[in-house]
Amino acid sequence: MIPQYQEPYTDEGIYGDFTYGSPGVSRGLMNAINVIQKNAFRYAGKLKILVIGAGSGYEIASFLSAGHKCVGMDLYIPDVPFMKEVCVQGDASDMPFRDKEFDLVFCTETFEHIPEHICYQILKETKRVGKNFYFTIATRGDGEYKMHINVHPAWWWLKTFEEHDLTIVHGEYAPLILVGYAGHGIIKLAYKDGVTIYGNCDIEGEAVSESV
């Protein structure tokens, strides 16, 4: 049986618009590039990254282009050849991955679309399969669309991550993201709301930078 929150997912995206989440307007992509450019997780080599809520795959493409290994997971995989090669279709509350398989679990603009109790399970799985994590979550509704079904203030999300034994290095409400694009200078993304939370999954010797 398909969960109710899965029904809106199509090739045209959750809002029925294929441009939603595309380059230039994608918060997820801006955050992915920000992580790459600032070497946010103090890695000497390349990371193995899991993208939860892979969508149209722009974040995955960005990580792969930077030389990282990357796997995506989503309830729906669009009819794009490369996405079918690098994505696992399924519910991230029960992931088919080994313990601590990923250096980074990356999830942006997703949790607000998922029922609260399922988010709890995803956080448990994040701790199991990941070493570090990076999440962004909307903290207000999306107007007439009504696709934000799990809306909480930033402090609530910070408390929830801590309750699931995820060590928060940095949590920020309405963050300012600066990304440098070749030939275009610095592009600024100023959130009016939302929370960015990143940290580690309590693995000895693993640490994340506070410079993201």
Q: Is the pLDDT of residue 209 over 90?
A: no
Q: Assign domain 4-200 to a CATH class.
A: alpha beta
Structure-token match 């107007």, residue found: 143
Read off the pTM. 0.88
The pLDDT > 70 percentage for the chain reads: 82
Q: What is the mean pLDDT of residues 29-48?
A: 79
Q: Is the pLDDT of residue 86 over 80?
A: yes
Model confidence pLDDT, tens digit, residues 90-115 = 989 999 999 999 999 999 999 999 99
Lookup: tokens for 110: 């997703």
d(CA 144, CA 100): 40
Q: Please, are residues 101 and 71 in contact by the beta-carbon 8 Å criterion?
A: no
d(CA 87, CA 83): 6
Q: Please, are residues 62 and 83 in contact by the beta-carbon 8 Å criterion?
A: no
In this structure, how many other beta carbons lie within 10 angstroms of the beta carbon of residue 34?
19
Per-residue pLDDT, 205: 46
Q: What is the mean pLDDT of residues 59-63?
A: 92
Per-residue pLDDT, 44: 63
- The region of weakest confidence among 19-28, 59-68, 76-85, 189-198 is 19-28
> Hey, which bits of 13-89 come out as E strands?
48-52, 69-74, 87-89
Per-residue pLDDT, 167: 95
Binned at pLDDT 50, 70 and 90, residue 186 comes out as confident
d(CA 127, CA 142): 29
Per-residue pLDDT, 181: 67
Per-residue pLDDT, 200: 93
Binned at pLDDT 50, 70 and 90, residue 211 comes out as very low
Per-residue pLDDT, 1: 37
Between 188 and 29, the higher pLDDT residue:
29
d(CA 207, CA 169): 9
Q: Please, are residues 99 and 126 in contact by the beta-carbon 8 Å criterion?
A: no
